[in-house]
Amino acid sequence: MTAPDGPGAADRARPPVVRGSSRTSPRPLRGSGAPWLYLAPALAVLGGLLVHPVCQLGLISFFQYTQAQVSGGEPTAFRGLGNYTELFRDPQFRQVLLDTVVFAAACVVSTLAVGCALAVLLTRVRAVPRLALMLAALGAWATPAITGSTVWLFLFDPDFGPVNRVLGLGDHSWTYGRFSAFLLVLLEVVWCSFPFVMVTVYAGIRAVPAEVLEAAALDGASQWRIWRSVLAPMLRPILAVVTIQSVIWDFKVFTQIYVMTNGGGIAGQNLVLNVYAYQEAFASSQYGLGSAIGVVMLLLLLAVTLVHLRLLRGRGKEL
């Protein structure tokens, strides 16, 4: 067989070339505003629901804004940092701030300990006990805070509560003492908060390769050592999320304190910042002072979140 003759033989053997077409996939447009167009609806909702109220909160905190100004009887007076100066000079505010920080820290540590322990337990039990524990935990999580607080008050009631009868404490009042009232509220907060930690950490543990855990067990590591040296470092991003969420939730506890201690306890011995801000703003009609307390809470939560994220990034764990 001979090759085809003629000058057009080679050209006929080549595939046709279509002018103006490209066989490569289109490249994403870097630096364009397309991502912001997709985010615009969500940003608009967040701006209306979050940014505007926060700006109004900060604005009111710089004014003398009481019931007289709300009703129009007196003009609004600009105080600058006067509300903040009055707050930090008030010994009650400093005590409430300290109590809030200590109480929130205890709630966060207890919630993380219970949630992580039960998450590890879920990986060790069979399907039926696991399902029962998950349903019970989700039931506690879904219970409204005011309902859960009322139930816990009944359980620890000095006259009719079953806890005192089982423990043989007679008519002991858990809400009368300062520390026992805080302990009672802490137990209720942990009860309604640990399911979020448990479910999230359990999902993270299930994503860890089984070979890693088997290798640690073959090396003779105990369950505590496996958690501390293997699981905790691998779950650090998840633990960061649940820690930040727990700090935010527990720092701004309101319903449990207000319901279980009847508005802050005897002579305000169980006040936290959220309840204290409510009393100043609505019970005393000092809206400017209550707004200043809200701004202080916001700045503290932002500081805790930023410091926690910086520490994580410093360890080389990007979220």
pLDDT band at 39 (very low <50, low <70, confident <90, very high): confident
Q: Of 104-108, 197-201, 244-248, which gets the smallest average pLDDT?
A: 244-248
For the chain, what is the mean pLDDT? 84
- Return the higher-pLDDT residue of 24 and 103: 103
Whether the CB-CB separation of 221 and 141 falls below 8 Å is answered with no
Rounded Cα distance, 173 and 195, in Å: 28
Burial of 134 (0-12, 13-18, 19+ CB in 10 A): middle
Report H helices in 61-144.
67-71, 82-89, 91-122, 127-142
Question: pLDDT (tens digit, 9 = 90+) per residue, 173-230?
Answer: 999 989 999 999 999 999 999 999 999 999 998 888 888 878 888 877 787 888 888 8
Q: Which two structure tokens, joined as six digits, stand for 74?
A: 């007196």
Whether the CB-CB separation of 318 and 269 falls below 8 Å is answered with no
**Closest of 147, 132, 137 to residue 114, by C-alpha:** 137
Predicted confidence (pLDDT) at residue 134 exceeds the cutoff of 60: yes
Predicted confidence (pLDDT) at residue 82 exceeds the cutoff of 80: yes
Whether the CB-CB separation of 291 and 60 falls below 8 Å is answered with yes
Cβ neighbours for 238, distance < 8 A, ≥ 6 positions apart: 200, 201, 203, 204
